[in-house]
Structure 1
Amino acid sequence: MLEYSVRARRDDAHGSTAFCKDASLVLDTGLAGRLDAFNPAELFLASVAACMLKGLERVAPLLSFSYSGVEIKLHGIRQDAPPKMLRIDYEIVIDTDEPDRRIALMHENIRKYGTISNTVAGALELIGTIRRAGV
């Protein structure tokens, strides 16, 4: 089993800071919002994207999958009462010359082996596609 730890501290009425290992991240926790930090919903979406990107990094060598870049676009839908995320739509855009069937295989592996994406998919709709860049 793996375990993870993060510590967060309120800095002032406009924001907070999270700490992990040697890293820190400014958080948008103020009621007015701020443009220079992720709010909790954006941080949640970013964690899904990071999981998918890490999955790609992990699976690519195993599949001998060649690519030069990747971008993941996510869109979350939140309900107000009670407040919760209902759905996340995503698009993975990958710069590769691999055949379409191998791109689909990569998508399957990203979805199958992602800790965060599997957790999220068990709690809400996680719907997405993968496509070749430039198409």
Structure 2
Amino acid sequence: MSLVSEFKAFINRGNVLDLAVAVVIGAAFGKIVTAMVDGIIMPVVGMAMGGVDFSQLFVALDGNDYANLAAAQAAAAPVITYGAFIQTIIDFLLIAFVIFLVIKAYNRMNPPPEAVAAAPAEEVLLLREIRDSLKRPGL
């Protein structure tokens, strides 16, 4: 089989296309959740915490004090932006929670098929027949 025909067979598999669709939809879904977190949830959390903007939380490693993160970055100061880390953790938790809810709703709408009992093996049927014949009176 040539390389081109192997590649065609690989691409034509349903799993590859399903995975590609899932990645694209997942990326778009991540943008939606990030916009929701940045625009709706984090301002409320910041207001509840006294007006804190998590994206502006940082520690300057050079020992100087800066008015804000932009000033520290303009001075080329090494900074640890722990606020961005907190924001990313909240994004992750919200994305995971929403995916959990979607999967839970999907599973509720599409219950797993009931397991069909496998037919007993021929040997089992024969042994049952022998057992039943031995139980009959008069033998």
Q: Is TM-score (shorter-chain normalized) higher than 0.5?
A: no
More strand by share: 1
TM-score, normalised via structure 1 length: 0.30
What is the TM-score of this pair, normalised by structure 2?
0.29
More helix by share: 2
Which structure has the greater CA radius of gyration?
A: 2
